Structure 1
Amino acid sequence: MQYPDAFTIDERYDRVHASDRRSRFGVYLAKQAFLDLDDELTTDPALFAAVGLETAMPPVMTPAYVNTHRRILEVCSRRDDDGRVAIEVDLASSLPSPAARLLGWEWRSWHTDQASGRYFAPEDNDRPAAYSRVTLRIPLDRRRLPEPRYHRDGTPSVAVAKEAVQLAVLQLNGTLGEPLAALAPRRAA
C-alpha cells in the first residue's frame, strides 16, 4: 500500500527564489543558532537535523522549504534528559466514535481550507466545538544522519544541512505515512 508523505521538500522553489541565487533555505540557516546545551555549535547529527527541519518550515520559512501534509498542525523538536532528539508532530484527528456519538451533530469539528485542504479549528464561537489531535513523537536515528559541518564563521554548511533535512524527512515519512493513511476518511466501496 502506498502511504502519503508527511513532509515534502521543494528544492525547485528554494533555488529559483533564492535571494543569494543559491538557496532560500541557506539564507535562513545562516540566521539560526545550531547550539548545543553548552552554547557550543552542536556536533549531534539529530539536533543539527532537527534545527534544520524547524528552520525549513513556517513560521520561520514562508513559503516553506519543507511542506507538510494537510493534517499536520504543528511540528517541533524535543530533547529528553539523555539528549536524544525526537520530532513531535500534531495531527488533526477525528473524535473517537463514542465521543462523536455522545456529542451529536450540534458540535462542530475540524474545518478544511477550500484551497489547500489544510485542517483548522472552527474560528467562531456560535456553537460548541470538539476537535482532537494525535501527537506522535518520532526519535531521529542519529546514525542515519550526516555529521554537522560549519564554516569558519559558525554558519552551517548548506549542503550538509540539506542532506540532514532530507534524511530526517525520509525517517519521518517512513514512520508517519501509515498513521496519516489511517486518519484519512474511508471511501465507500
Structure 2
Amino acid sequence: MTAWHPELLVYVNDRYDQENASDRISRYGAYLRQRTDQFRDAWSDTPAPIEDPGEFAVNAWRVATAPVMVPGYAQTRPDLHAVTLHRDEDDHGLYADIHVPLRHMHIGGDAKRFPYSWQDWDAERDHRDDDFPVLLMPRSTKKPSILATAVVRVSGREWPHLVTPTAHDGPRLLDEARETVTTVAHHINTDAGPIVAKLLA
C-alpha cells in the first residue's frame, strides 16, 4: 500500500509491476512491447529510436499511466483525476498537467457556502485511502451540481537527467523507459506537489 501524503502525487511501483507481470519481469515491459512503434523515429528510413528525450518521456509516461495501464506503472494518487505529460506545440518544451478535483470546501469556504442541495464530487472511501478518496461524479442527475476541477501545470523544460533514448524495443527500451518514468515522477512530485498541497489545504 502506498503511503500517500499531500505532496506525493504519483508513485512508481516497481514491486507491483514485477509481482503481477505475466513474464515475471515487468507488466510495463509487456505494454511497451505492444507499442514499440511509439518509440521509433518516424523520419528514419531504417528502424531507429526517437532522438528527443522529451518526446520519449511523453510516450513512456503515456504507456505507464491510466488509461493505458490500469493500475499504472506510475500510479496516480486516488483523489487526482489525471497526471499527464505533454510537449508544447511551438517550442516542444515539456510540461505536466495535474488534474485536481476541487470539492465545495476548496472553492467556497467560509465566504461562500453553497446550498446543501447542490451536489459535490462523491467520495468513494475505503479502508486504504481514506485521506485521499477517489472522487466520482454524483450518481443523481436530478439535482444541481457544482463539479470543479483545477489544472496545475508545471514546466519540465529544465528537468535534468531525462534519458536520451538508444533503443526502440527490447530490454534496453524497458530500462530506459523505467528510468525516464521514475525521473518524471520525481520532478512532478517536487515541482507540483507543494502547489497541489497548497490548493487543497
TM-score above 0.5, yes or no: yes
Moved more, 16-25 or 162-171: 16-25
- Please give the secondary structure, in 1, of the residue aligned with 2:182: helix
How big is each residue's C-alpha offset from its partner over 1:51-108, in whole Å with a ceiling of 9 and x where there is no partner? 1112111111122211111221123333221111212221111342279836422211
Whole-Å separation in 2 of the counterparts to 1:61 and 1:47: 19
SS in 2 for 1:136: strand
Q: Does 1:92 align with 2:83?
A: no
AA partner of residue 77 (structure 1): L
Aligned to 1:83: 92
- Give the secondary structure class of the aligned counterpart of 1:29: helix
Report matched runs for 1:81-160 at 5 Å: 81-95=90-104, 96-97=107-108, 101=112, 103-115=114-126, 116=129, 117-140=133-156, 141=158, 143-151=160-168, 157-160=173-176
Aligned position for 2:34: 31
Q: Does 1:16 align with 2:19?
A: yes
Which deviates more from structure 2 when the two are superposed, residues 74-83 or residues 7-16? Answer: 74-83
Aligned residues: 183
What is the DSSP-based 3-state SS (H/G/I as helix, E as strand, rest coil) of the residue aligned with 1:182? helix
> What RMSD in Å do the two structures reach over aligned CA positions?
2.7
User: Are the structure 2 counterparts of residues 75 and 35 from structure 1 closer, same or farther at C-alpha, using a change threshold of 3 Å?
Assistant: farther
- Decide whether the 8 Å contact of 2:159 with 2:187 is kept in 1: no
Contact 2:123 2:135 in 1 (8 A): yes
Identity of aligned residues (%): 26
CA distance in 2, matches of 1:41, 1:106: 55
Q: State the Cα distance separating 1:3 from its structure 2 match.
A: 4.6
Point out where structure 2 has 5 or more consecutive residues left out of the alignment: none
Q: Kindly provide the CA deviation profile for residues 113-143 of structure 1, in whole angstroms up to 9, marking residues without a partner as x.
A: 1225111221321211002111022222354
* Normalised TM-score (structure 1): 0.83
Deviates more, 1:20-29 or 1:108-117: 108-117
Tell me whether 1:165 sits opposite 2:193 in the alignment: no
In structure 2, the partner of 1:175 is 191
Unaligned segments of structure 1, at least 5 residues: none
| Change in CA separation of 1:12 and 1:122 when aligned onto 2, cut-off 3 Å | same
- Give the deviation of 1:146 after TM superposition: 1.5
Shift of 1:37: 7.4
Aligned position for 1:65: 73
TM-score normalised by L of structure 2:
0.79
How far is 1:12 from its partner? 0.6
The 2-side partners of 1:181 and 1:98 are apart by 16
Secondary structure of 1:147's partner?
Answer: coil
